[in-house]
Chain A
Amino acid sequence: MTRWLFYLLVFPGFLFTTILGLLIVWVDRKVSARVQFRQGPPLFQNFNDIFKLFGKETMIVKESARTVFVSAPIFAFGMIVLLATIVGLAAINRIGFAGDIIVVMYLMMIFSVAVILGGGSSGNVYSSLGAGREIKLLLADELVFILVCLIPIIQSGYKLRIDEILVAQESGVFIGSISGAIGFILGLLCIQAKMTLPPFHIPEAETEIVEGPFMEYSGPLLAFWKLSQGMMYVIYPALLVILFLGGFKWTGIGILYSVLKYLLIVVLMILIKNTNPRIRIDTALNFFWRIAAPICLIGVVLSVWGL
């Protein structure tokens, strides 16, 4: 019992992912600053931000649906902690259960649902607009993401467990095959959309709908959203490493190699984020349903043929 609590609260779960997530958000801000020829924030900037937010006043709008408004960020945070625990246990401790990859897909969707609930309940027009856009973005990227997840499942011989997918990659990583390469590239774009990073930051577009669903949140509740977003920076690229790049190894040169694989994906995401303008919601739907989904379907067929 205490072992599982330790897993949930300390090592792959809450504490580890939070601290790592805030450091990765610093990497994001620093790399973005260097792209714009700036100096960038100091290393512990995000910790200061979070501690500051926990000390601020919480304001609840009179028109808001109070219970949903308050519980949505905490609910989302809980979902992300659970997601971190499942992915971390499978990747590091090699403890999995049958169908955990399906649970992971669902938990990633539930986070978006929490964003929709939080934005929709706040009684603000811009927040509701943001929540509506989040629904459309979820509809756009969900199909492609499930198809992307199917490719490693099929290549590993129809195994629905993350640890068995990792075992199947010990002879050769999936990105080496044609279908694996297709899956990796589309998976990167899907993760960009799931984390609502540019060019897919349609729900929270700062310049038109002022942070969208998070607009009315202040103080500790906003801190929970920021923490969840930081933890997504850890989990989602790690999931891509697990599915296509052979996961993490913690012996000898493997440590350096694992960290490099992870940082490569993160920096690639940050560069995509910094070099692309925001696309419209219809462009995003068109892209995911008309272009990405057929290509990904071809990838799935190729992986059935063993290519």
Chain B
Amino acid sequence: MGWYKRRLAKSLWVFHVSGSPCNNCDIEILDLLTPKYDLERFGIKLVGSIRHADVLLVTGVFNQKVAPKIRKIYEQAPKPIFVVGVGTCMSGACCFRDSYNIVEDRQAVIPVDLYIPGCPPKPEAMIAAVAKLLGVLNARN
């Protein structure tokens, strides 16, 4: 199994899920995938279909309407799948904390493996986080 985890760590295909964000994190994620940062060095690739994904990059606070959809997307992904929560919204709901329509317990909707705080996080922070995710994967052997 350790051999397989090492293969998996070297080829993470990323799918971008936006769960009612303010779009800043989404823009930063798109920046991350531009030639300047070149994530293909680590074998990371953006895929368009959830069936091909290994990592879900989730952004935003989940409101009541979008939470079931996020859960559905998570269930449609082939396992093993890893979830990275991008932005302060995922870790602490940011300035939307007191809103009437958000889901309090985001961890129950989708099990997050890794949080990247920042509003929005810099692409460099995301690369560092992805490197940590690789470390987590390699340590799980």
Contact = CB atoms under 8 A, between A and B. Distances in A.
A59 B54 CA distance: 14
A211 interface: yes
A215 B38 CA distance: 24
A51 B52 contact: no
A59 B38 CA distance: 30
Interface string B62-80: 0000000000000010111
Contact of A40 (B40, B51, B52, B80): B40
A48 B54 CA distance: 13
A42 B52 CA distance: 20
A210 B49 contact: yes
Given A45-B11, A57-B79, A37 B51 contact: no
B35 A37 contact: yes
Given A59-B78, A206-B48, A48 B43 contact: yes
A207 B10 CA distance: 25
Contacts of B40: 29, 33, 38-41
Interface in B25-64: 35, 38, 40-41, 43, 47-49, 51-52, 54
B103 interface: no
A28 to B, nearest CB: 12
Nearest to B1: A55
The range of chain B's interface size is 20 to 34
Contacts of B54: 52, 56
Given A33-B40, A38-B40, A41-B40, A52 B51 contact: no
Interface string B1-37: 0001001101100000000000000000000000100
Contacts of A216: 49, 51
A36 interface: yes
B43 A41 contact: yes
Contacts of A55: 4, 7-8
A216 B80 CA distance: 17
A93 B130 CA distance: 48
B22 to A, nearest CB: 24
A258 interface: no
B4 A36 contact: no
B35 A222 contact: no
Interface string A283-302: 00000000000000000000
A39 B35 CA distance: 9
A263 B34 CA distance: 28
A38 B43 contact: no
A56 B80 contact: yes
Contacts of A49: 11, 43
B80 A211 contact: no
B49 A211 contact: yes
Residue with the highest number of chain A CB atoms closer than 10 Å, among B10, B49, B79: B49
A52 B79 CA distance: 11
Given A45-B11, A55-B8, A57-B80, 13 more contacts: A33-B38, A39-B40, A40-B41, A41-B41, A42-B41, A52-B7, A52-B10, A52-B54, A56-B79, A211-B47, A211-B48, A217-B51, A217-B52
7 contacts: A38-B40, A40-B41, A45-B43, A59-B76, A207-B48, A211-B52, A218-B51
